[in-house]
Chains A and B, each alone.
Chain A
Amino acid sequence: MAKIFEYLDERLSITELRKFGEKKAVPLHKQSFWYYWGGISLLCFLVQIVTGVMLIIYYKPGPDAYNSVRSITYDVEFGWLIRSAHSWAATIFLVSIFVHMFSVYFMKAYRSPREFGWWSGIALLILGLLFGFSGYLLPMDQLSFVATKVGLAIPENIPVVGHAIANLMRGGYEVSEITVQRFFAWHAVVLPLIYIPLLMFHLWLVQKHGNAVPPSEEAKPEKERMTIPFFPNFLMKDLALWLVTLNVIAFFASIFPQDIGKIADPLGPAPVGIHPEWYFMSSFETLKIIGKLIPGTIGEAVGITIFTLGLVLWALIPFYDVRSLAGKRGRLATYFGLFCLAVLIVTTLLGYVMA
């Protein structure tokens, strides 16, 4: 054993890596708990890769999509579990990303020199939502079919080029088996190809700049600040939370498995009380509310403009939160964050109450 380790160590510098990990310090303070949420979303992403590859083994995009998912759910041994794990891990993936993003926001971790961490994170969130949107159609049951039709109405409303973009995404004027094939290519090939390098970049930045500490910690004198070594202390806690997350996924996947509805019928009416997945509920409800205030396509356009502006404002916070940057208490930025969080939560809840 010792000889094998020596052989590997000489060639792969394992000891060097270990020493590096032991030297790397992670800040320890009241808010340290929030540091683990990026890691939780990373685990969920890994679960998505593994379960996703396993689903590809039996999934057939195109005209056979519905029947293949049905067969995975009901015929293949443990197929229901793999599919449910994929679906539940997607939910926990997005939950942990949202928690991660808001904790980064309220800790003001977007400040210089970490702006690119913030921006790449937002890009990863958008990609994560696109993963959700494209994956949702793949079973091709009535609900996913209608949800995709509705979702594609959003690019449809972009001025001038909207129709062309929506048609390209659909591969036609209506959602069909051609759309499923395209969405599958996005979901399983294109998005991962963009996502993985961007994730590497994001992680590299975290390694390069280290964990950010909130302004309240920065205000403390150097002596009072505490840290723990990355290896083994932080890593072990990280892995322990991975285990907890894995158990949560397993619990939900086995107690609340994902079902499949009736096969998509292009002539069937939209089901009553139809609503999108929870992570699109807020924008869905907001569009509905704006649509009531400003009827017609103008309302739609106003809604989408508000989303876009909100997102741009959110992404550019490192530029205008100058108080936090100067090490002062950036109350305005905190209030803006709380406002956004409140809008997200209230519109989401409203969406469920209305449905």
Chain B
Amino acid sequence: MSKEPTAVLPTEPDENGVTRAQFIKVAVGGMCLAYAAAIGYPVYRYLNSPVEREAALAAIKDVTLAGADKLELGSVLLFKFGPYPSMLIHHRDGKWVAFDAVCSHLGCTVQYHPDLDKIVCACHGGVYDAYTGENVSGPPPKPLRKFNVKVGSGSVLVSRV
């Protein structure tokens, strides 16, 4: 009887039905995934770092606009609510309103037209109501987000609804 060579690798499955090749495949695959995660996570956080900072900025609840109470009738003041462009309108009838100035269609910054008394978007001709922010005509699918306005002496407080 010849002896079995010792260097032959077992190809038969073990008691759990797992072959050596299958085990190696899963082990190497798992290791690759672990490395991908160990490299991917810091890379993602590194690239995402400014986004994280803006997220903190975007979380603010209100913004105080110093001197904005002197805004003339029928005029607009553009300001940043956190990272986003926003607008404060002082209507001719004395009403104050504030909106997110980002068009709900494709994100262009909208502008207030005092002659039309409408908010329009130059990119694709979207039109919004300048009192309610309602999308009146053109492609915008949603109204502009409206903010609360509180006029004080020497400043205007704009806050999230």
Residues of A that sit less than 8 Å from B by CB: 54, 57, 75-79, 81-82, 243, 246
Contact = CB atoms under 8 A, between A and B. Distances in A.
Contacts of B47: 54, 57
B48 A77 contact: yes
Interface in B3-52: 35, 42-43, 45-49, 52
A73 B76 CA distance: 41
A54 B43 contact: yes
Given A75-B49, A77-B46, A82-B42, 18 more contacts: A54-B46, A54-B47, A57-B47, A76-B46, A76-B49, A77-B42, A77-B48, A77-B49, A78-B43, A78-B45, A79-B46, A79-B49, A81-B42, A81-B46, A82-B43, A82-B46, A243-B35, A246-B35
A82 B48 CA distance: 14
Nearest to B45: A77
Contacts of B52: 77
Contacts of A78: 42-43, 45-46, 49
Contacts of A82: 42-43, 46
Contacts of A243: 35
User: B-side binding surface: helix, strand, loop or mixed?
Assistant: helix
B28 to A, nearest CB: 11
Interface residues of B, number: 9
22 contacts: A54-B43, A54-B46, A75-B49, A76-B46, A76-B49, A77-B42, A77-B45, A77-B48, A77-B49, A77-B52, A78-B42, A78-B43, A78-B45, A78-B46, A78-B49, A79-B46, A79-B49, A81-B42, A81-B46, A82-B46, A243-B35, A246-B35
A82 B47 CA distance: 11
Contacts of B35: 243, 246
Contacts of B49: 75-79
A76 to B, nearest CB: 4
Contacts of A54: 43, 46-47
A57 B52 CA distance: 16
A75 B50 CA distance: 10
Contacts of B42: 77-78, 81-82
A78 B52 CA distance: 13
Nearest to A78: B42
A81 B43 CA distance: 9
A203 to B, nearest CB: 25
Nearest to B52: A77
A220 to B, nearest CB: 26
B114 to A, nearest CB: 40
